[in-house]
């Protein structure tokens, strides 16, 4: 099974609830889309910061999984989000996750979340611990 099929088949329950759709997956880049639904929004109807963070965390975790040695697992130990622009209900955002560091004990990932027009919604940097 290739990496993209693996991530879509064994998707985390929260990712399914959010509606994450992985569109590409490789050890050095994971990308996914998320439709901004009303139930993922705050008031006014823009994507909630917690949904942004959960989307990015899903991508960072998936990217780490693609880089793990057999018999190891991962957990997020740190995450920082810069919120830069709103994503209105009804739009689709794309997350692109790339490595900053891939070590034996930790991996650091940066996820850029953008609108279809290319506007940067959020920039997330997270650290995953290898267990």
Task: HSE, CB side, 13 Å, CA atoms: give it for residue 69.
Answer: 8
Give pLDDT tens digits for 8-63. 777 788 999 999 999 999 999 999 999 999 999 999 999 999 999 999 999 999 99
Give pLDDT tens digits for 85-113. 999 999 999 999 999 999 999 999 999 99
Domains and CATH numbers, the chain: 3-130 (3.10.129.10)
CA distance 131 to 45: 38
The pTM (predicted TM-score) of the whole model is 0.95
């Amino acid at each position: 099974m290739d990496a993209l099929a693996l991530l879509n088949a064994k998707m985390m329950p929260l990712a399914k609830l959010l509606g994450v759709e992985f569109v590409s997956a490789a050890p050095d880049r994971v990308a996914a889309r998320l439709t901004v639904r009303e139930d993922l929004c705050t008031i006014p109807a823009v994507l909630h910061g917690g949904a942004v963070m959960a989307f990015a965390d899903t991508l960072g975790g998936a990217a780490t999984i693609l880089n793990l040695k057999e018999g190891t697992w991962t957990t997020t130990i740190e995450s920082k989000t810069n919120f830069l622009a709103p994503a209105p209900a009804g739009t689709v955002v794309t997350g692109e996750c790339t490595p900053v560091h891939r070590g034996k004990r930790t991996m650091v990932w940066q996820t850029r979340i953008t609108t279809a027009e290319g506007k940067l919604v959020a920039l997330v940097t997270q650290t995953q611990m290898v267990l």
